[in-house]
Amino acid sequence: MAAVIFLAGAVWSFLEIADEVMEGESRSIDTLILLSLRNPDDLSDPLGPPWLEETMRDFTALGGVAVLTLLTLFSVVYLFIRRQSVQALFIVITVVTATILNNLLKWGFDRPRPDLVPHGSIVYTASFPSGHALTSATVYLTIGALLASAHRENAIKLYLIGVAVLLAVLVGVSRVYLGVHWPTDVLAGWMAGGAWALLLWLAARWRTGGPGSRF
């Protein structure tokens, strides 16, 4: 029941954010947050020492196509070696469909990237929702949930899910810090990615035997 409530809340939140973005109501808060992360005397200079900016680039790479593709590939191969082909196929389906969902949403909303500050990372696509936030949330939460399902101890389960959430959060925050996304892009990406991962997880659990299954 809690999972269903979270899923409904995430979908509702995404729709609310999307509505505010399309109506332009989020522009003021987006602008305020983005500019608050910059040196007011030089908008090309993010707040903090140089090492912080480099750290944020490292964090943003955790949600990049190359890193997530390698992580997905390694996870799938590992599961096939362990003869867990169902779980391996689940990861592939989740990641591929999340990528398609991300591209469709970007195409549908077609929101321009922030133009207030110089970008700290090269970008190619539309801004809403954040693809890094969406896909990293989907991939890390899916892998975290699969790992957690292999353990009985609640402390280990919470730790693994917590790490997955933290990684997704760091990726999203880095996108705003580097000026390549509006904050609402990232929030929407987190909601969409989390909802998609949870939806497919619930569907898989139902398909393979319900809450008591060892999927």
Query: Helices (DSSP H) in the chain: which residue ranges?
Result: 2-22, 27-36, 50-61, 65-81, 85-109, 131-149, 154-177, 183-207
Is 151 considered catalytic here?
no
The torsion region of residue 153 among left (phi > 0), alpha (psi -120 to 50) and beta comes to beta
Q: Which of 179, 5, 9 is nearest to 17 (CA)?
A: 9
Is 119 considered catalytic here?
no
Per the residue annotation, which of 38, 106, 132, 205 is the catalytic one?
Answer: 132
Upper half-sphere CA count for residue 178 (Cβ side, 13 Å): 26
Q: Which two structure tokens, joined as six digits, stand for 204?
A: 């898989």
Per the residue annotation, which of 18, 181, 183, 198 is the catalytic one?
Answer: 181
Upper half-sphere CA count for residue 194 (Cβ side, 13 Å): 26
Q: Is 81 exposed, middle or buried (CB count within 10 Å of its CB: 0-12, 13-18, 19+)?
A: exposed
What's CA 108's distance to the chain center, in Å? Answer: 19
Residues noted as catalytic:
132, 181
